[in-house]
Amino acid sequence: GTEDDIANRKSHHELEHENGEEHDHDEFDSFVVELPALADPSAFIERLKGVIAEHDVLRVKGFADVPGKPLRLLIQAVGSRIDSYFERAWAPGETRGTRLVVIGLHDMDEAAVRAAIAAAV
């Protein structure tokens, strides 16, 4: 029954606009950084913390290829807190690689962040 009445169910955001209330919306940008395998994941993660702090990166998430390991290394960062763990085996036929999604405010210098992350490998 709820789905039948969906047009009349307004979100908080929609109700604010109907009532003339305005509020700020931060605009975010995201991009994918592809990197080579991480020979020393611990060192990379420590250097990544510096990149995050220096460039005000909000979030990083993705996975990495670690030579000699049959599992993907999952990497998730919120601010300077970074979690990483081996999450699952690489699937047959799956291309091993390191791919991280970087999320920041719309004015983030993407080229500088890309270069800094690449230098952290």
Residue 2 falls inside a structural domain? no
- Expressed in angstroms, the distance from the first to the final Cα of the chain is 53
**For the chain, where are the E strands, in sequence order?**
28-35, 59-64, 71-78, 81-89, 98-105
pLDDT value at 59 more than 90 = yes
Residue 21 falls inside a structural domain? no
Residue 79 falls inside a structural domain? yes
Give the model confidence (pLDDT) of 60-113 as tens digits: 999 999 999 999 999 999 998 999 999 999 999 999 999 999 999 999 999 999
Query: Whole-prediction pTM value?
Result: 0.77
Residue 59 falls inside a structural domain? yes
What's the total number of domains in the chain?
1
Angle between helices 110-119 and 41-55 (to 10 degrees): 160
- Smallest CA-to-CA distance from 72 within 52, 89, 59, 55 is with 89
Report the CATH number that the domain containing residue 55 is assigned in CATH: 3.30.1220.10
How many beta carbons lie within 10 A of that of residue 96, not counting itself?
13
